[in-house]
Amino acid sequence: MATDMHKKVTITDIAERARVSPSTVSRVLRGSAEVADSKREAVMQAVEDLQYRPNIFAQSLASGQSMTIGVLTQNFGSPFYDGILQGILLGLDKSDYWPMFADGRWQPTVELHALHSLLDRRVDGLIIIGGQLSEEDLQSVAADTPLIIVARSTPALPESCIYVDNFMGGYQATKYLIEMGHRDIVHITAPTINQIAIDDVYQRYLGYQQAILDAGWQVDPRLVVEGSLQQQSGVLAVEMLLARGRPFSAIFAANDQMAFGARLALFRRNIRVPQDVSLVGFDDEQFAPYMVPPLTTVRQPAVEIGQVAASTMLDLLDGKKSQPRVFQPELIVRESVTRRS
């Protein structure tokens, strides 16, 4: 039987159709007490006929559970962050929980508003990906709501963190370039005004720095350029480097997006990759193997990280303790680096 899509079906409507009391309907829907099979079948048939949809918010008030997991990300459309979101969806797929997404857009006020919006909707748990929330804010959330922090290491809540060893990834990328005979190695990083906000990217810079120091050299500040993690900033970074006049033979970009931009800028200046300048990225985005030439990069298992975040959250909601999880990066060697003679 079709119903008016604009008419709100109530428990009373179901009771009248099933010819039972509203309290019986309530017991059937909650599964809170034994009900005769004949009455249960009549109620469920009425639910189907009337196309009843329960008021989830009202149910959450009554049960104390919304059956939703809040997911606060930072950049919808970013291949890395979207990979984590995909993993979270896969991890929750066979559970009774449904994700509710919000985007902080790397803006502190927006992120805080998004956080409170999720908490106001009584999510049962919260997964925060990256971001700039202070440790005090994170601790306050964790005191009342199961919390998992992804792509960020937070000393105050080490057991809640799931992240990649970004220091080692930066170190591996730079050490590989050094082993390939490069000495004048550029690093395109992200703004370091607020290290907490970009802790993962800052750790990549520290890895770059340590590899340079371990080679017995000093880091030349003229070879370090700040980008925004967007492709256009990779273009601008190369233009800035060329304007400085400091020679270089290799570039390590803190993410693949900036590496793609750097590749374009080099192409426009008729600088060949890898014959003239070698290029390394970070993330191993899906398009990295299809860049010309295919990009050497550091792989982060984004989907797997998201799946682990989801499974860890489900464990927390089941009363189990969470454990920190540190993923090891993997250098993927392709054709954008050549040996420097």
Residues whose CB is less than 8 angstroms from the CB of residue 250 and which lie 6 or more positions away in sequence, other chains included: 177, 180, 182, 184, 185, 186, 277, 278, 279, 280, 337, 340
State the pLDDT confidence band at 54, using cuts at 50, 70 and 90.
low
Name the token pair of 288: 């990295």
What is the DSSP annotation of 267-296?
A: HHTT--TTTT-EEEEEE--TTGGGSSSPPE
Could you tell me the sign of the dihedral formed by the alpha carbons of 211, 215, 221, 225, in that order? negative
> Could you give the residue range(s) of every CATH 1.10.260.40 domain in the chain?
11-54
pLDDT 10s digits, 122-153: 899 999 998 888 889 999 999 999 999 999 88
Mean pLDDT of 62-70: 74
Q: Which pTM does this prediction carry? A: 0.78
> Could you give the residue range(s) of every CATH 3.40.50.2300 domain in the chain?
63-164+302-328, 166-300
pLDDT 10s digits, 166-220: 999 999 999 999 999 999 999 999 876 444 446 788 899 999 999 999 999 999 9
Decide which of 1.10.3720.10, 2.40.10.120, 3.30.70.100, 3.40.50.2300 is the CATH code for 166-300: 3.40.50.2300
Predicted local confidence at residue 67, as pLDDT: 84
Residue labelled with tokens 């700040």? 226
* Percentages (nearest 5) of helix, strand, coil residues in the chain: 45, 15, 40
DSSP E strands in 39-155: the ranges are 68-73, 98-103, 125-129, 147-150
User: Which fold would CATH assign to domain 11-54?
Assistant: 434 Repressor (Amino-terminal Domain) (1.10.260)
The most confident of 187-191, 295-299, 337-341, by mean pLDDT: 295-299
Mean pLDDT of 42-71: 74
What is the DSSP annotation of 60-88?
A: HHHHS---EEEEEES-TT-HHHHHHHHHH
Mean pLDDT of 245-263: 97
Decide which of 3.40.50.10540, 3.40.50.2300, 3.40.50.300, 2.40.10.120 is the CATH code for 63-164+302-328: 3.40.50.2300
